[in-house]
Structure 1
Amino acid sequence: MSDVTPALQVSIKFPKDALDLSETDEKMYAALGYFTTQCAGLENILDKFIFTYGKLKTPLARGTRIFPVNMKEKTEFLIKAYLENRNLRTCGDADDKINLNSIGYLMDEVWEARNHLIHGRLYLSRHKDGDFSFNSTRYTRVIRNEYEEVAYKISRSAIVHLLGGISYLKAFLRTGLEILDGGYPKKEADEIRRNQAAFRERRRNLLDEGRHIDTGGLMRFFAGDT
């Protein structure tokens, strides 16, 4: 018998191209891509609502010479439209009520995450349990010509939470559009109730895990390694 130890063989996989990612990276970038496309869909339906409402002969529509461009202005227009038009308030959420403050906070929360994930410099963190989170840094304007670097961290669980919020907001806006078209969309009203109930359940689960959600828009996590 030979005493020669067989040479160690190492198999190295070289990526075929820039999109030939590892299984873990595929999951992370899939989450990032899906979230950003859902944000784009939300903004599209919000724009449709604004342009539809702008055709009405109401004080808000007549007084708006330039339609809002950024999300802060768009959200303000949406809230003003619901305050002005009582018909829009005939279709409530899971409690048969419309909490416009919650709508505004949720829109801020979604868009805060969207801006950090799209405009920030991302670092991906892999966790032992197979979960992951995104760490982002980006520059935001404090006052004119003055900027500061802001850090942001969001876990996969929090992204799932926000996706539920986006589904709720889309159903809310679709209902508003159908009401403006003269109907009472029972199907959309039921969807709002289902999405709102699911959204609250996800929110409770996040809080049970020790994650605090700042309703002002920025999520911060105080538990675990997320």
Structure 2
Amino acid sequence: MFKGTPKIVAQRREEIVNACEQLYQTMNFKDITLKEIGKVTSFSRPTIYNYFQTKEEIFLALYEREYSRWNAELKRILDSEEPCTREQLAQKIARSLESRAQLLKLLAMNNYDMEENSRAEMLADFKRAYGASLKLFRSILEKYCPEMSEEAVAHTMYVFFPFMFGIYPYTSVTDKQKTAMEEAEVDYQYQSIYELTYHCLTKLLEV
């Protein structure tokens, strides 16, 4: 790790993660290399190794940031003083994910390989952001659905969070995939992130 001031370290790390995020808009994970990321930063590729040892660590940092951004959305839902029915809660959570397409795209990746190729301390940072999401989601259920049992709350959480891994592939379909579905005569009704999430939550919350 580069021995600079905390401010410089944070700025350099942020620039590297931003570069990765920029490339991820138009490139696949497998095509993004440290060399490609270095081209988008203001410093040389070897400098990246002062902050991240692997490409997976950079993506994990991006992943952590995306969870933190979603956590801010969940915190706003939790802190709201407005009355909220279960249906309205399903709508709010669905809207919170509607703007988090990048988080859902990352969730659709092979997380096992990403975590396996990252150092323990960076994996722990990521898990803290993920754990915060679990805690906020639980607190939201306990606040707006006080009649739910502990078992029901746990069931809802551990169905919904794994469900999130499949949202992106079902809602972000390429023209090539659509053509293949048509040729295979698969009658599939495409839905948006909001629609798929909302329908899942209304079932889980028994709206």
Give the TM-score of the pair, scaled to structure 2. 0.28
Query: Is the strand fraction higher in 1 or 2?
Result: 1
Whose relative contact order is higher, 1 or 2, with alpha carbons under 8 Å and at least 6 apart?
A: 2
The TM-score, its normalising length taken from structure 1, stands at: 0.26
- Higher helix proportion: 2
Q: Which has the larger radius of gyration?
A: 1
